[in-house]
Structure 1
Amino acid sequence: KLDNVQVEQVRTALEQGAQAHGFEADLWTLERVGLVVERVAGVSLSRASVWRLLTSRLEWSLQRPERRAVERDESEIARWIAHEWPRIKRGR
């Protein structure tokens, strides 16, 4: 449904980030991409068509954010593994 010019307009819009289009988090979902496509190109796409657009024509791939706490302290984790875990394991 989209010609090459529209695809490039969508690419440019998506590269600006989700927050630039009024979304709270800077993550893209198929629904959000579909809304941007509709705003930019005036074409309504199904979720499957949005997926094909992203993976085939734009050559984007699925990316998932890491599920780690912001407060995660790698040095404390390493200390615990080096000192506490062996002590706990010996106590069995």
Structure 2
Amino acid sequence: RHTSADMRRRVAEREWLAVEQLPGYAPDLNPVEGVWSAMRSGLANLVPGGIDQLAALIRARLRPMQYRPELLEGCLAGTGLSLEP
């Protein structure tokens, strides 16, 4: 657990590190949910031939996103969280 005495000590040793306790389930605070949402468009009726085909399709859908920082920044902004300290 992140609230253990050992973890609190480790965090305290690093002035640059800020830790926030988040709820156990908070998809609205998870920027990855926005990425998955953007990636899933058009996959609703897909019936892959196997796990390898599905994995290849997911990689193909995620690859272009790495070249669209505005999309990824939008996913982060949608959470209300910020990269700024």
- The reply to whether TM is greater than 0.5 is no
TM-score range, shorter chain: under 0.3
TM-score (norm 1): 0.26
From the CA coordinates, give the structure whose radius of gyration is larger. Answer: 1
Q: Which has the higher contact order (CA 8 A, sep 6+)?
A: 2
TM-score (norm 2): 0.27
